[in-house]
Amino acid sequence: MRDTHSLPVGYLLWVLGFTGSHRFYFGKPITGTIWLCTFGLFGIGWIVDAFLIPSMDREADLKFAEGKYDYNIAWILLTFLGAFGVHRFYLGKWISGILYFCTGGFLLMGVGYDFWNLNEIVSERNVIEG
């Protein structure tokens, strides 16, 4: 069975759940944005998600491609060092990594874009580099 995403990382990001980061991590950018804008559905959704994370993990494992690049590392780098572009350097995207580093992740707008798209970016890199 594929294991692209990790329960412990999901729960680590859930601690920051009012930001929706765990939902972005598991490939749910629309609800992640709703959580971000409503502080985890005013805390209620955040509590419910503690029980939903195992199923979100299983869905993400089936949806995204395994390969050279680890989703967990990419997401931890994005979450904690995104404005510096470290996750982009990790994925071999040196030009955008340098641009993020020099501009604070394009004034955090690029970081927001990456929260929406990082799973697809990692999955694409894993397919390309097989």
pTM over 0.85: yes
CB 119 within 8 A of CB 71: yes
pLDDT digits 0-9 by tens, 4-30: 999 999 999 999 867 899 999 999 999
User: Which single residue is written with the structure tokens 């992740």?
Assistant: 105
Count of alpha carbons within 13 Å of 9, Cβ hemisphere only?
23
Q: Is the pLDDT of residue 63 over 80?
A: yes
- Angstrom distance (rounded) from CA 47 to CA 102: 37
| CA quadruple 113, 54, 18, 104: dihedral sign | negative
Question: Going by C-beta distance under 8 Å and a sequence separation of 6 or more, which residues neighbour residue 94?
Answer: 88
**pLDDT, position 104:** 97
Domain spans, the chain? 1-63, 67-130
CB 72 within 8 A of CB 66: no
